[in-house]
Amino acid sequence: MNYQEILDEIGHEFKAVQFEGKVASYIPELANVSPDKFGMHICCLKGGNYSLGNARESFSIQSISKVLSLTLAHLYEGDKIWKRVDVEPSGDPFNSLVQLEFENGIPRNPLINAGALVISDILVSHLSNPKQDYLDFVRKLAGDATVDFNLKVAASEKEWGFRNSALINLMKSFGNIQNDVEEVLDFYFHKCSIEMSCATLARTFLLFANHGQLLGRGEAVIPKSQTKRINAIMQTCGFYDEAGEFSFRVGLPGKSGVGGGIVAVHPGAYSVAVWSPKLNPKGNSSQGMAALEALTTKSGLSIF
């Protein structure tokens, strides 16, 4: 498969398309990003890296980090985490309070904000230095010691994080948050602020295409069975109330972030990351969705 040729075709075709959408503005620091950025990168398990556009420019991965924190939390608590967070698609916006109230403080899945806050609470309970320990874990998966938080983004999220504060306090009232609310929120805002390029992000998520093993390093980070489950959660819950649309159009497990990034994996084959800051009304990158649909259409390969 000539992936570079496919990426070049996508880049050429998209030059004539004006994608609609708006850069996330509810986190003011993200509003400073140019809406015209577009990058894409593919990492293949059998070797080969293929890039398009701004693939090596770093951006805030935001909710994509929820997959990595879930992975680490499961290493500490195993299947006990499913007593505190479910694995069902939400069908509601990523920051909805209504569903959480109705279901007694148990989030529908770990990839919506409420679920990720519970996972953050679990990590705060287990990590001696939560922010640094989590960052070290992400750097290990990425094979890149330069991956870091964007402190301006973290501060911006904290200043305007009223809805996340409401979510975590509601869950605290139901007994589903065990640590200090402000400490958990601080950790959550920092982990969402992590910056990566498409190239680094695709390399990081090779773990989920490679049955839980770090490519070329012979180390199994998570069991094959758990990799399958995380991929399944990405497939059904990775795009909030647009997860069905992504499965229909793209056909890969994936996760989006309001920084405009999307990462997806084809188990046994490759991982791919795309970045375009313009978001559709559901909070997903409009150009990113189209680019990944074009990739699986042109290659003729998806998990289906």
Q: Which of 58, 60, 63, 271 is catalytic?
A: 63
CB-based contacts of 9-13 (< 8 A; 24+ apart in sequence): 9/294, 9/298, 10/40, 10/52, 10/291, 10/294, 10/295, 10/298, 11/40, 11/52, 11/53, 13/294
CA distance 206 to 93: 28
Q: Which of 188, 193, 263, 272 is catalytic?
A: 188
- Sequence letter at residue 23: V
Q: Which of 3, 50, 134, 240 is catalytic?
A: 240
Determine whether 184 is an active site residue.
no
Q: Which of 65, 66, 247, 271 is catalytic?
A: 66
Which residues is 288 bridged to in the sheet? none
- Sequence letter at residue 38: F
Determine whether 83 is an active site residue.
no
- End-to-end CA gap in the chain: 18
Return the number of other C-beta atoms located less than 10 Å from residue 52's C-beta: 22
Determine whether 26 is an active site residue.
no
Token pair of 290 as six digits: 């189209």
Using alpha carbons, select from 255, 254, 257, 276 the residue that is nearest to residue 265. 254
Token pair of 184 as six digits: 């958990």
DSSP, residue by residue, 60-88: E-GGGHHHHHHHHHHHHHGGGGGGTS--S
Using alpha carbons, select from 129, 141, 144, 142 the residue that is nearest to residue 186. 129
Token pair of 278 as six digits: 């313009």
Determine whether 258 is an active site residue.
yes
Q: Map residue 278 onto helix, strand or coil.
A: coil
Q: In Å, what is the CA distance from 159 to each residue of 156, 192, 288? A: 5, 14, 28
Enumerate the active-site residues.
Answer: 63, 66, 188, 240, 258
